[in-house]
Structure 1
Amino acid sequence: MDHKTSLAELRDSCAEHLRPELAGRVADLVRPGFELVPAAPGQATGHSRFGGNAMLEPGVPWPTCEGLPLSLLAVLDTDALPPWLDGLLPPGTGLLNFFSLDIESDQADPAAWDVTRRVGHCAPELGQVVAARSRLAVETEPPATASSFAPVAWTAVPGFVFPDRFDDAWDALDPDFGPDHEDVAEFKDGMLNDFRVPGSLLSDDMAFGRPIYPTGGGPVLPEGEDLQDHHHLLQLSDRHEWSIGGDGGWMHWSIPTDALRAGDFTQAMPTPDIW
């Protein structure tokens, strides 16, 4: 099913659960995203995967933080994604490599703790997103002191993602709440417990879309940054062989929306959920 047909079905479903004057506003909050699931043989979405080697262009240095190499956590092959992002990415964006300073896995360099304590657990320099053009990218092994995780190939399943029940994005509906406030609260709870809106995704591992808030706290941005001015890039749950600690242990990366549309991934940053 193409994204326009799927979005139309989603809007129809919202109209079944909400008053017409509110259903459209709620449906406007969804963003296209991709559920990332372990791929069957031959079914991977390009080079998309958790772990493994980085996919970098020749001559691009391995990213570091205060002299320590970051660890490659995931590769997302945007050229192989189904065309659901509707112009959000520049053509030919290619491969996105997601790096973070590992402080919790069995492979973590003890010195990484000192760096993290010094800069702060939510410092943007603790992670990077490095883009690589698909035609030039080559597998690049990590430095000796970086953590290396077993690769798990992904299939990217397209759909639409509602804001988490704790997401401030729902505040955009404030002018319309009035007598509909209880209707929206019931709708948000129902999406998780009673019904699934056709075409919507609710996934542990997610590309684009919107983040989920397993702890109720949600992704942490640097002071002064507003999550609503950013676009979600990737969510990794705590079920993998790595962890960033805290009560959540979930990892997210975000980027200012203007930077995403321009293809400037130097502005992407880790936004961990460590509530």
Structure 2
Amino acid sequence: MDPETTRSALRDFCAERLGADLAARFVRLARPGFELTAAGPGEAAGHSRFGGRAMLEPGTPWPTCEGFPLSLIAVLDTDALAPWLHDVLPAGTGLLNFFCLDADSEQCDPASYELSLKYDCFHPQLGKVISTRSAHAVETDPPARSSVFDPVVWAAAPGFDFPDTWDPAWGTLDLGPEADDMARAMPGQYVEELLADWARRPGALVSEDIAFGWPKFPTGSSPMVPWGEDPTTYHHLLQLSGQDEWYLGGDGGWMHWSIPTDALRAGDFSRAIPTPDIW
């Protein structure tokens, strides 16, 4: 289905369970997103992939943290995803290259770990997103000490995503006069209990690897953004649950990149930041 047909079907699904008024307000929280899975023949979402080499315009500086090179983790081809993104980001954004400091994989340079200890795991220095016009993009070899992961070409199945149960975005939802104090204290749980067959909704995204949409936080937290900033003013860019070659520190973790919504709409990806969930 196309985006508008899917959104309409989603609204009808929710109205049957929440009532028309609450469903209309609830569906306003929906954001277009994409399940990312290994692509079969003919399924590739343009140049979208995990790993491989960066796709940069000639002359673009390789991102660093205190001079130490970051590692290319993924590429998203927004031109291939554009039919579902509408006004989420400017037309012609092209390719988004996602970098972070690799301090945990088997490939990482030992010095990267010592460097990572100087920063909080969500510090802007530890991640970078660089946009590239598709017509000017070329595969770019990394500098020494930067990790290169075997590429996995992605297919991207579109749908609509909703906030994690504990996301602060739930605080913006008007539950209506029927909701009691307990419901207002935990609006995410309240709505989810009313949507018992939620997994069957139109446009459901069930992958742990997601582009755009909303971030999921298995630890029950919410996006970690710079001190004093409101996480509801940020938009999610990419979620990776982990790969065989690359993972976050500790016992595990999911990696996210987020960006202020106004910067996203302006195409200013210099303001994107890592927002990982580590346990």
Question: Into which bin does the TM-score normalised by the smaller protein fall?
Answer: over 0.9
* CA shift for structure 1 position 135: 0.5
User: Distance in 1 between the 2:228 and 2:251 partners?
Assistant: 24
Which residue number in structure 2 is paired with residue 139 of structure 1? Answer: 139
Alpha-carbon deviation of 1:84? 1.1
Alignment of 1:188 with 2:192, yes or no, is yes
Residues 173 and 243 from structure 1, CA distance in 2 versus in 1: closer, same or farther, beyond 3 angstroms?
same
- 2:205 and 2:193 map into 1 onto residues whose CA distance is 15
Give the match for residue 41 of structure 1: 41
Superposed CA offset, 1:174-232 (max 9, x none): 56365363996354257687642111213211111101111212332221222210110
Deviations 1:81-136 (A, max 9, x none): 15111212111111000000001100111111221111222211101001111001
Q: Secondary structure at the match of 1:36?
A: strand
Alignment coverage as a number of residue pairs: 275
CA contact (8 A) 1:18 1:183 kept: no
Match of 1:106 in 2: 106
Counterpart of 1:258, as a letter, is D
Which residue of 240, 243, 247 corresponds with 1:243?
247
Q: Does 1:125 align with 2:125?
A: yes
Q: TM-score, normalised by structure 2?
A: 0.92
Among 257, 260, 265, which residue is 1:256 paired with? 260
Shift of 1:144: 2.3
Secondary structure of the structure 1 residue equivalent to 2:179: helix
TM value normalised by structure 1: 0.93
Equivalence for 2:63: 63
Corresponding residue SS for 1:84: helix
Is residue 157 from structure 1 mapped to residue 161 from structure 2 by the alignment? no
Distance change (3 Å), C-alpha of 1:177 and 1:69: farther
- The 3 A distance-change label for structure 1 pair 15 and 219 is same
Structure 1 residues 104 and 192, CA gap change in structure 2 (3 angstroms): farther
Q: 5+ residue gaps in structure 2?
A: none
Tell me: CA distance 1:189–1:47, structure 2 relative to 1, closer, same or farther (3 Å): farther
**Partner SS, residue 254 of structure 1:** strand
Match of 2:213 in 1: 209
| Per-residue deviation, 1:170 | 1.0
Q: CA RMSD in A?
A: 2.0
Flag structure 1 segments of 5+ consecutive residues without an equivalent: none
Secondary structure at the counterpart of residue 119 of structure 1: coil
Are the counterparts in 1 of residues 63 and 69 from structure 2 also a CA contact under 8 Å? yes
Identity %: 59
Distance, in Å, in 2 between the alignment partners of 1:138 and 1:13 is 44
Q: Partners of 1:183 and 1:130 in 2: how far apart?
A: 36
User: Equivalent residue for 2:222?
Assistant: 218
- What amino acid sits opposite 1:138 in the alignment? V
The CA deviation at 1:243 is 1.3
Deviation of 1:62 (Å): 1.0
CA distance in 2, matches of 1:202, 1:192: 16
Q: Please give the residue correspondences for 1:79-118 in structure 2 after superposition, counting only pairs within 5 Å.
A: 79-118=79-118
**Counterpart contact for 2:192–2:198, Cα < 8 Å:** no
Tell me which residue corresponds to 1:3: 3
Q: Which amino acid letter does the alignment assign opposite residue 209 of structure 2?
A: D
